C-alpha cells in the first residue's frame, strides 16, 4: 500500500459525467493529488474539463491508462460500464474508486472485486 500523504496520480474515466466535477473539486483540495488524464467516449464537456485541469484528454480509456499510468482511476461513467472499466484499470495496476452503484448485476460486482484482489489493488465505491 501507499504511505499516507504520498503523491498520487489520478485519472478519470467518464469525465463528461455531471458528477465528475465533484470529484475534480475534491481532488483539487488534496495537495498530494494530481489529475494526470481524463477519458470519455464523448468529447464534450470532458475535453474542456481536461483542458481546465491541464491534463491530456482521451476518447479511449485504455490509451489513457497506457499513456499516463495513474495510481488511481475514478470511474464516473454510467454504471453499466463500471465492471469492464474497472477490470481494465486493475490490469493497468491502478486502484479504483467508482461511482454508485458498483454494477448492475451482483456477478459483475463480484468480477470487479475478483479483479481487484488479483491485482492487489483497492476497489471503493463512492457514496457522497
CA separation, residue 40 to residues 22, 32, 73 (Å): 16, 24, 13
Q: How many residues does the chain have?
A: 128
Q: What is the mean pLDDT of the chain?
A: 96
Q: What pLDDT, in 10s, does the model give residues 42-71? A: 999 999 999 999 999 999 999 999 999 999
Alpha-carbon distance 99 to 79, whole Å? 7
By percentage, how much of the chain surpasses pLDDT 90? 94
Q: Determine the longest span between alpha carbons in the chain, in angstroms.
A: 37
Is 82 within 8 Å of 76 (Cβ atoms)?
no
Residue 127: which pLDDT band, with cuts at 50, 70 and 90? confident
The pLDDT value recorded for residue 1 is 56
The pLDDT value recorded for residue 99 is 97
The pLDDT value recorded for residue 106 is 98
What pTM does this model have? 0.95
Residue 5: which pLDDT band, with cuts at 50, 70 and 90? confident
Amino acid at each position: 500500500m501507499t504511505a499516507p500523504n504520498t503523491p498520487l496520480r489520478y485519472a478519470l474515466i467518464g469525465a463528461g459525467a455531471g458528477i465528475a466535477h465533484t470529484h475534480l473539486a475534491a481532488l483539487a483540495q488534496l495537495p498530494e493529488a494530481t489529475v494526470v488524464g481524463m477519458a470519455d467516449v464523448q468529447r464534450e464537456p470532458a475535453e474542456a474539463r481536461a483542458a481546465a485541469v491541464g491534463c491530456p484528454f482521451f476518447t479511449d480509456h485504455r490509451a489513457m491508462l497506457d499513456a499516463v499510468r495513474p495510481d488511481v482511476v475514478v470511474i464516473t461513467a454510467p454504471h453499466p460500464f463500471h465492471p469492464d472499466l474497472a477490470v481494465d484499470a486493475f490490469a493497468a495496476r491502478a486502484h479504483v474508486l467508482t461511482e454508485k452503484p458498483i454494477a448492475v448485476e451482483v456477478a459483475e460486482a463480484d468480477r470487479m472485486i475478483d479483479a481487484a484482489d488479483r491485482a492487489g489493488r483497492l476497489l471503493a465505491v463512492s457514496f457522497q
